[in-house]
Structure 1
Amino acid sequence: MTRTAFKKMHGLGNDFVILDARAQPVAMTATRAAALANRHSGIGCDQLILLEPSARATVKMRIFNADGSEVAACGNATRCVAAILGREGLAESRIETAAGLLEATTDGQDATVDMGTPRFAWEDIPLGYAMDTAAMPVAWDGLSAPMAVNVGNPHVVFFVKDLDAIALGAVGPLIEHDPLFPERVNVNVAQVTGPNTLNLAVWERGAGLTQACGTGACATAVAAIRQGKVQSPVTVSLPGGDLVISWAPGEPILMQGPATFVFEGEIDWAHFP
């Protein structure tokens, strides 16, 4: 194997290189994923997505962050995969991830994904030790008392009065790598703007500041609903655009938003050993 076709896609600016390994396997390592994600010497992306055959679903999706680390969930990438399957004639699909099986539908423009049921127990986040995840007794540089939510990957959510006043690029990596989070964590800072709306900025583990984070939007909407700050459905406005999140306690999270094709190409593996 010397070349493999890829698709470049994004969900609200959260961009992906998507390799189809359903017919021809691709050996992926952390080093190779990071090299492909490099925006100067590779193709460039927030996450690299590898599609593989699945015995339980339409397709298996593996997710590698820009630093090469493999993670279990990515909401925006799931919508992009649903859109690829939609182009293949499958308006409805089931996508296998390390976080579980996700049901998705697409109309060719937008996609809706059932992201599963959120988890709140400290050991499910996971945290380094037991504490109340609804209002964690911790703080970093003015950000305090977050809610922790696992939506296939770990998130902490802070609500603030002025989102623009938060230097997330500085405090985000401190929180991501805090020993409290043995698997690191995604950091969400949100400002409620109405009964069904909020603005959100996300520091994504392994990727940094991002234009959009689908699981972050899900975790933040769930936290806001659970705290009585908003009502479902919630329009979550990120730097790259809006996602609509629907959730009720005990029910799965539904995420709706766009999936955009950018271009296609081929990877010459001689440059990425």
Structure 2
Amino acid sequence: MIRAFSKMQGLGNDFVVIDTREAPLTMTAPLARALADRKTGVGCDQVILIGNSTQANVSMRIFNADGSEVEACGNATRCVPLFVGRDVTVETQAGILSARMGGTDADLSVSVDMGVPRFEWEAIPLAYAMDTLMMPASWENLPPPAAVNVGNPHVIFFVDDLAAFPLDRLGPIIETDPLFPARVNVNFAQVTGPASLRLIVWERGAGFTRACGTGACATAVAALRRKLASSPVTVSLPGGDLVIDWTPGGTIQMTGPAAHVFDGTIDLDALV
């Protein structure tokens, strides 16, 4: 089966995007893993299926590099207007998101309304009840984290020096800890100014990525709740900057660059 795809990226968080609105496609975990493989497939952090929706302009399904399907991806959502060619509402498992383009062709940015963050322990979800702003739990010498659900689950550690903590070792340990029955995205953040943070993320099902939009949202919200920063917050990731604007009780606005890299075709039957 020959299928067209687009390679897209937001701050280096990269995606294989397939349009299924006219030609449905059954995505399986083995096929998603094969497409995401950087040596034998196209290569990406996530595979994105754009489909029809009765509730929004389009729907979006998101498959991690390990084949697991997840609820939300902020950077992928910022790529959808570029793929469709206009501002859109997007149906996801996390709800209806709206994305709009801005800036110029040379400096294109996309803003997404990521909805209202959740803080209840059962909404993260956690295995048992606890305070999610200053969790009475930690790993090794990490400080007590915060937990936020922004369509998918995040745990956030605020540290003085990002280089002092081995994310590649601690990330998978924390991601799969029994405290997180749905696994969790792991964020290490360093406050760098009154409205700025540095952030590195171990993504659930994808590992270390150059950028994570929902991670930036969750971390900025946690910093604002702890009064470590003021809104809007500039979150600097290895791939670049995102601006997160949030007022308690409101929705999260995320703005940053997105890009269409190239188009191609691939024989899906040859992959699996």
Residue 83 of structure 1 and its aligned partner are, at CA, apart by 1.8
Residue 261 of structure 1 and its aligned partner are, at CA, apart by 1.2
SS of 1:137 mapped into structure 2? coil
Instruction: Give aligned-pair identity as a percent.
Output: 62
- Aligned partner of 2:93 in structure 1 is 98
Aligned AA (2:97) = L
The RMSD of aligned alpha carbons is: 0.8
The answer to whether the 8 A contact 1:137-1:144 is kept is no
- Aligned partner of 1:250 in structure 2 is 249
Distance 1:141 1:260 in 2: 39
Residue 139 of structure 1 and its aligned partner are, at CA, apart by 1.2
TM-score for the superposition, normalised by structure 1? 0.97
Task: After superposition, give the CA deviation of every residue in 1:120-141 in whole Å (9 maximum; x if it has no partner).
Answer: 0000000001111111111112
- Aligned partner of 1:214 in structure 2 is 213
Aligned AA (1:95) = V
Residue 40 of structure 1 and its aligned partner are, at CA, apart by 1.1
Task: After superposition, give the CA deviation of every residue in 1:172-223 in whole Å (9 maximum; x if it has no partner).
Answer: 0000000000000000000000011010000001000110000000000000
Residue 158 in 1 paired to residue 146 in 2?
A: no
- Aligned partner of 1:7 in structure 2 is 6
> Where does the alignment leave 5 or more consecutive residues of structure 1 unmatched?
none
Distance 1:77 1:211 in 2: 13
**Paired residues for 1:1-273 under 5 Å:** 2-85=1-84, 87=85, 90=86, 92-107=87-102, 109-273=108-272
Residue 20 of structure 1 and its aligned partner are, at CA, apart by 0.5
Identify which range, 189-198 or 133-142, moves more after superposition: 133-142
Could you list the structure 1 runs, at least 4 aligned residues long, displaced by more than 6 angstroms after superposition.
Answer: none
Instruction: Number of aligned residue pairs: give it.
Output: 268
> Where does the alignment leave 5 or more consecutive residues of structure 2 unmatched?
none
Distance 2:109 2:118 in 1: 26
Residue 4 of structure 1 and its aligned partner are, at CA, apart by 1.0
Distance 1:67 1:247 in 2: 31
Distance 2:134 2:8 in 1: 36
TM-score for the superposition, normalised by structure 2? 0.97
SS of 1:132 mapped into structure 2? coil
Distance 1:139 1:105 in 2: 38
SS of 1:139 mapped into structure 2? coil
Residue 271 of structure 1 and its aligned partner are, at CA, apart by 0.8
Distance 2:48 2:269 in 1: 20
Aligned AA (1:103) = S
Distance 1:185 1:115 in 2: 18
